[in-house]
Amino acid sequence: MFVINAQRLRDRMAALSGCGRTVAGGVMRLAYGDADREARALVMTWMREAGLAPHVDFAGNVIAPRAGTDPSRKPLLFGSHVDSVPDGGDYDGPLGTLAAIEAAQVIAEQGLALHHPIEVVVWANEEGGLYGSRAVSGQLPAAELRNVSRSGKTVAEGIAFIGGDPARVHEARRAAGDIAGYLELHIEQGAVLERAGVDIGVVEGIVGLREWTVTITGVANHGGTTPMDQRHDALLAAARFIDMVHRVVRGMPGQQVGTVGRLEASPGAVNAIAGLVVCSLELRDLHDATIDSLYARITDEARRIGDETGTTFEFADLMAAAPAPSDPRLRDAIARAAAALGLSSRVMPSGAGHDAQAMATLGPMGMIFIPSVGGISHSPEEYSTPEAVENGGNVLLGAVLAADEALP
């Protein structure tokens, strides 16, 4: 059984955190910014140390291929990203990226002959909305190149800045069946593994999500002169809506989640009854049917709350992403790799989105989670133990080797 060089992996993670380090101890490595470009250059030097020859594709993704023994095979991809959210942490992205390089380096150092060509990948602008992986999977409409990214650059400008070619982004596209499979190691970003005392999460799939903007219209009025029974209070209606969403989502067995995270009340004065509330609704589950059924129940109940409070509810679609199930052969490869290392594992959904969901449209996809301490992510406090990082790297290496056998 082959294992990674855990010290090398940890050293590289520490070095990578130097790119965009903030005084608060987090990282500010916004996609297409200076720190992002610097991190990508550093990662490419490590790819070369691993015997790989990286290049940047037209969408700005770093791709480092290595030939396999069977020229008829499609490539096996693994990797993650290095861009961060504003004030992000050290693990979200870098773990999967540097563990992928580490796995490739062990394969090279041990002279392991894989049937499949492999490609270590660093996806561009994951945090902004999976731009690099969506370009490759053909899910990036050209109009989105005009979006302004958090770095201040448009996506087109950003792609050029990191060595891609915005005019040729469409050429980065691959077709379904063009890859043999995709594996990604990532921190869980929740506290399920930690609470259960389990070492490794075998991702069952990435949940689908639907998001709505909910507009609740009442009548703004004076909070002193309007008796309680003559109000059309949009904030009271919103309050009952939020509580109801929580009740409905928890009222079904399963791992579905529902969140109202954004809310604005107008006119928003201490002494005025709110006439208008705009809030968000997000539902996530591994199965679209569950989301549909929750949404039907929620809109029904919202109508009742509207009647009760003299307000009206309107739901406008904001975003939707289909669930991306993982491949049973890769789940099995991951679980067996964990077991061979004496690590416990459990099958679980990924509640967060990942580049893996774009790759799932091109071929078999598998994802490995390690515990996040306290479930904290997108924060300078994001942390996973050195042991968990080592476990994750070893499981990724084992899963790549097993996948090379299991996948055609």
Among 258, 363, 364, 392, binds a second copy (CB under 8 A): 258
Among 280, 293, 299, 312, binds a second copy (CB under 8 A): 280
The maximal CA–CA distance of the chain, rounded, in angstroms, is 82
Only one of the segments 5-13, 18-26, 263-271, 358-366 lies at the binding site for a second copy (rule: CB under 8 A); that segment is 263-271
Distance CA 159, CA 131 (A): 10
Among 78, 91, 241, 313, binds a second copy (CB under 8 A): 241
Among 350, 357, 384, 394, binds a second copy (CB under 8 A): 350
β-strand pairing of 276-285 with 208-217: antiparallel
| DSSP assignment of 339-384 | HHTT--EEEEEE-S--HHHHHTTTS-EEEEEEPPGGG--SSTT---
HSE-CB of 117 using CA atoms within 13 angstroms: 15
Please say whether the beta carbons of 172 and 59 come within 8 A. Answer: yes
Please tell me whether residue 294 binds a second copy under the rule CB under 8 A.
no
Which residues in 267-364 belong to E strands, given as ranges? 272-273, 276-285, 312-321, 324-325, 345-350
Number of chain residues interacting with a second copy (CB under 8 A): 61
Please tell me whether residue 180 binds a second copy under the rule CB under 8 A.
no
CA separation (Å) from 408 to 14, 86, 116? 37, 40, 9
Distance CA 175, CA 111 (A): 31
Please tell me whether residue 239 binds a second copy under the rule CB under 8 A.
yes
Among 44, 122, 265, 403, binds a second copy (CB under 8 A): 265
Please tell me whether residue 227 binds a second copy under the rule CB under 8 A.
yes
Residue 149 has what DSSP assignment? P
Please tell me whether residue 130 binds a second copy under the rule CB under 8 A.
no
The residue among 163 and 190 lying less far from a second copy, judged by its C-beta, is 190
Distance CA 125, CA 158 (A): 9
Please tell me whether residue 57 binds a second copy under the rule CB under 8 A.
no
Question: To the nearest whole angstrom, how small is the minimum distance from the Cβ of residue 300 to a second copy?
Answer: 18
How many Cβ atoms sit within 10 Å of the Cβ of residue 18?
A: 12
The residue among 101 and 207 lying less far from a second copy, judged by its C-beta, is 207
Only one of the segments 33-41, 118-126, 145-153, 248-256 lies at the binding site for a second copy (rule: CB under 8 A); that segment is 248-256
Only one of the segments 14-22, 57-65, 164-172, 269-277 lies at the binding site for a second copy (rule: CB under 8 A); that segment is 269-277
Please tell me whether residue 260 binds a second copy under the rule CB under 8 A.
yes
Among 189, 357, 361, 384, binds a second copy (CB under 8 A): 189
Among 1, 23, 228, 289, binds a second copy (CB under 8 A): 228
Question: To the nearest whole angstrom, how small is the minimum distance from the Cβ of residue 394 to a second copy?
Answer: 23
Q: To which residue do tokens 């078999």 refer?
A: 364
Only one of the segments 4-12, 102-110, 156-164, 189-197 lies at the binding site for a second copy (rule: CB under 8 A); that segment is 189-197
Please tell me whether residue 253 binds a second copy under the rule CB under 8 A.
no
Burial 122-153 (b: 16+ CB within 10 A, else e): bbbbbbbbbbbbbbbbbbbeeebbeeebbbeb
Residues 13-42 that bind a second copy (CB under 8 A): none
Please tell me whether residue 261 binds a second copy under the rule CB under 8 A.
yes
> What's the N-to-C CA distance of the chain in angstroms?
22
Q: To which residue do tokens 């990508």 refer?
A: 40
Among 13, 35, 352, 356, binds a second copy (CB under 8 A): 352
Distance CA 134, CA 123 (A): 9
Among 197, 271, 317, 342, binds a second copy (CB under 8 A): 271
HSE-CB of 382 using CA atoms within 13 angstroms: 26
Please tell me whether residue 322 binds a second copy under the rule CB under 8 A.
no
Q: Count the helix, strand and coil residues of the chain and give each as a percent rounded to the nearest 5.
A: 40, 25, 40
Which parts of this chain interact with a second copy (CB under 8 A)? 188-192, 195, 207, 209, 211, 221-230, 233, 235-236, 238-243, 246, 249-250, 255, 257-263, 265, 267-274, 280, 282, 284, 318-319, 350-353, 375-378
